[in-house]
Amino acid sequence: MAEGHLTDEQTAALREWIEEGSHLRTLQHEAKQTKRLEALRTLAGEHGELQNERARLAAVHAEQESAAKDAENRADDVRDRVQRTETRLNEGTGLTSRDLMGLQDEIAGLRERIDLIEGEQVEALEAAESTASQLAETTAKAEEVAARGRDLQAERGREGERLSGEIAVVERNRAALLERIPADLHERLRAEGAYPAAAVVTAGSCGA
């Protein structure tokens, strides 16, 4: 491009157009909101881990409650056997002394079995209670992380809207400034992108 003379107004417009270009690049970089995106990714990862832990704890809790229920059912079955055996013992019909002693021993053994099963039931219930507490705590953490994520996403949205508005204003300003610059410079200014040779502006001239 041959060196061309610019008026003071054109030179000022060109300088301002270049400055606005720098401002535009800054805004476009800010619009990427890199830090917020990284924070959102971190929160998403943390939330995913907490959700996986919730699922694991929920499965464990279900198993523990099932074990407690199974123990309760087994204990009830043994109690039924005790009741039936006690009925036979109390009736004593056709039983010898040896038979009666055998039934008493059987009842004693069944009662010991009930004690063991009830112990298993208590352990399962206590474990389920502990797991339920962990599950509630993990759920609360997951909800807190999710809330932080929603807040940050909303903040990112608001900031994105603000920056989009500023970018639109700068782009309109640059378009208006470009109209004040000689048309024969427009193609080169656009072609050379972010850092045009027009950055070298001296004494009312634009050097190639």
Average pLDDT for the chain: 90
Q: Which amino acid is at 138?
A: T
**pTM score:** 0.72
Res 205 pLDDT > 50:
no
Q: Which amino acid is at 146?
A: A
Q: Mean pLDDT across the stretch 121-140? A: 98
CA–CA dist 24, 194 (Å, integer) = 10
| Token reading at 26 | 């800054």
Q: Assign 111 a pLDDT band (cuts: 50, 70, 90).
A: very high
Q: Mean pLDDT across the stretch 43-53? A: 98
Q: What is the pLDDT of residues 53-90, one digit of tens each?
A: 999 999 999 999 999 999 999 999 999 999 999 999 99
Q: Give the pLDDT of residue 196.
A: 55
Q: Assign 192 a pLDDT band (cuts: 50, 70, 90).
A: low
**DSSP-assigned letter for residue 206:** E
- Using CB atoms within 10 Å of the CB of residue 128, give its burial: 0 to 12 exposed, 13 to 18 middle, 19+ buried: buried
